[in-house]
Structures are given as C-alpha cells and as structure tokens.
Structure 1
Amino acid sequence: MDSSHLLCTTIDFALAGLFAAWFLISVAAQLRDDVQARMPALSGAGLIPRWAFFAPRPATHDTHLMYRDRDSFGTIGPLVPVTSPESRRWFHAVWNPNKFHTKVVDDLMAAMAVQKRDIEHHDFAGQSLMLTVPYIALLHIVMHARRPETSVARQFVIINDQPFSPDRHPEVGFVSKFHAFSRVDEPCT
C-alpha cells in the first residue's frame, strides 16, 4: 500500500467520522432542547438544525396584517387584509406557491412582536420600532398594495385572533402611524 492511498483512506475515514458525528448531534438536537445550548458555536453558525414540525406548544391564534388609507380630507377608510384567506385545495398539501408570501408576512409579524417586546423591556423610545427590519419590511409590503387615487397615506394594523376559542374576540396587536405615499398624484398599480 503506497502512502498516497493510505492518506486518502485516512481522510475518508476522518470525513466519515465528522459527518457521522454531525448527523448524531443533529438527531440529538431534535430530541433534546439542551443540545444546541451546549454547543453555541455550532448552533449560532446554523450547523445544528432544529426542526419543529410538531410544536410542543402549538399556535393558538392567527395573526392578520391589515391596512387602511387616509385621503386628503382626513377620512380614514376601512381595514383591508393584505392576504385574503384562500380555500385549501387537495394539491396544497404538496404544492402551494402562495404559501411563501403568507409565510414571509407571518414571520415578519412574529419578528416585529419580538422586537416590540425587546424595545419595551429596555425602555427604548416607542418610535425606535419603526427602525427595525420587520417594521420596514411590513411597511414596504402594505405601501405597495393597490391603492385608490384619493389615498395620501397608509397605516398598517396587526390583528390577533383566536378562531377556535369559544369567547372569540380579535385584538389589535399593533397599529403603525400613517405613512405618506411618495407621490399623491400617481396611484400604485
């Protein structure tokens, strides 16, 4: 056996051992919550995945992103949902291209709720929430929704709803300030 073949075999075994260890750590991270905490460098780099297909505490509420417009006379229009609920079709279990957009909006609303709690916890100014990425991204989404020609400003609202609760009462989770459109004379299409 020559030395180059021995080196290749050693590297193959080392890589196989590395990937086997990585696989076992990844499996352990799915079964125990403390595995990622014990290896912060690997967890922080995203090398140890944590999938939660079945959450230990499933979501009990729905969150809806809505907006309303204000015209030049100061009249405020009704709340309009950004995404309208669509009826589920049998093939949505496998292929649902609209899921990406709704997932992005849901993730942004969840991230903004976390940012809001952090800002309140650290006693930062209330307006500092407007400088966060989730706020700016949600604002971008609502400002690019179709608008009437008479609208001069738009506000977004996050509504929390418990659809399966016997005492169902939707709650307002967040209300933004009104943001002016860049050009009043040119409606979005």
Structure 2
Amino acid sequence: MTADLEAIWGLAVAGFLCFWFGVSAFHQFRPHRWTRLMGHDVLGLIPRWSFFAPNPGRHDIHLVFRDWILDEPTEWQELDLGSLNSWTRWIWHPERYASKAVADAAGGLSMASAAARETGARTVMLSTPYLRLLSWAMSQPVPPDSTARQFAVIASQGFGPTQTLELRFLSEKHPFES
C-alpha cells in the first residue's frame, strides 16, 4: 500500500511540474487573451524570462539616501553594493545580485507609484518594492545626531561630463526610532 501511495504522489508531483513547465513556456509568448488570465497569478508563480530583451536597459539605477540632522538634510550617498572594479568580475561577480535586486525593486516601485497616483492614495509606501528599498537605506550606518532618513531612486545615462541623471522616485522622511 505504501509503495502504491508513493507512486501516486510521484506521478502527481511529476504531472504538476510538467503542467507548470508548459504554462511557463506558453507564458513567454504572451498571447493577448493570456494577459488577463495572468492577472490572477497573485503569487507570481508563472515566470516571465527575458534573456534577450527586446528593449535593452539604457539606464543605470542607483539607490541614494540622505540623513536629516536638526531638520537639515545631509549630502546624498549612494548605497554601497560592493566593489565593481575587480579584474575577476567577468567570472565572479556576486555584487550583480544586489544591483539587480535594486533595479528590480526600483522597477516595481515605478509601477506601484503609478498605480498609487491613479487612486491618489499613499499606498506606495506599503508596497513590497518601497519597503525593500527603505530597508536597504535604513540598514546603512547612521550618524550620531541623525533623526530621519530619506531615499531616492536615480537613473543615470552616459559617462563623465555627458552623464545625465534623472530622479525616478523620492521617498518621504522616515524617522529613526529613539
């Protein structure tokens, strides 16, 4: 009896994984009617891969933060994502995960803030991307007299004197707990 039950569970799991793979593969083509159905995937279980994106990234995304001391802002500082200029970067580059996470959270924050603008609500502050970026900013070292912290998402394009910066998002001030 136990062997039969194991075989049934094995077939059920294998069947589910095959179904999930098929749905995931079908999702890569994004047929028009499929988009409405994917709105019900609230847990994000059906992945969308873009190994060769049709719209390549043209901007670098930066998370910057500043502290408030006696109601005066300090200079903006960029979140430290680790050293990016190592000669081994082409083969071993663990920092790319942090920079990818910041870029993904910034993209999610852009969508959440657009949705919040439509409703006129401040719900963007409850979104996962906002809380993730806030957590990274708040986890940075705090100067002794600092009372609050604010973060911003900046997009940069180009290099050197021709580099352009664009403010994508500016958070509210978040006080530190006493």
TM-score (normalised: structure 1): 0.69
Q: Give unmatched runs, 5+ long, in structure 1.
A: 1-7, 184-189
Q: Is 1:29–1:36's contact at 8 Å kept on the other side of the alignment? A: no
The question of 1:145 aligning with 2:143 is answered no
| Residue type of the alignment partner of 1:116 | S
In structure 1, the partner of 2:94 is 97
Q: 2:108 aligns with which of 82, 106, 111?
A: 111
Q: How many residues in Structure 1 have an aligned counterpart in Structure 2?
A: 164
Q: Percent identity?
A: 31
Measured in 2, the distance between the counterparts of 1:110 and 1:53 equals 17
The question of 1:124 aligning with 2:125 is answered no
Q: RMSD of aligned C-alpha atoms?
A: 3.4
In structure 2, the partner of 1:159 is 154
Q: Is 1:83–1:102's contact at 8 Å kept on the other side of the alignment? A: no
| Residue type of the alignment partner of 2:143 | P
User: Could you say which structure has the larger radius of gyration?
Assistant: 1
Q: Give unmatched runs, 5+ long, in structure 2.
A: 1-6
| Residue type of the alignment partner of 1:136 | L
Measured in 2, the distance between the counterparts of 1:158 and 1:38 equals 29
| Residue type of the alignment partner of 2:31 | D
Measured in 2, the distance between the counterparts of 1:155 and 1:29 equals 38
| Residue type of the alignment partner of 2:135 | H
Q: Deviations over 1:113-148 (max 9, x none)?
A: 100011112x222x3221222212211111110121
Q: Is 1:66–1:82's contact at 8 Å kept on the other side of the alignment? A: yes
In structure 2, the partner of 1:61 is 59
Q: 2:80 aligns with which of 80, 83, 89?
A: 83
| Residue type of the alignment partner of 1:77 | T
Q: Deviations over 1:27-64 (max 9, x none)?
A: 5654x3329928947x9476764321110011111221
Give the 3 Å change call, closer, same or farther, for CA 132–87 of structure 1 in structure 2.
closer
Measured in 2, the distance between the counterparts of 1:29 and 1:87 equals 34
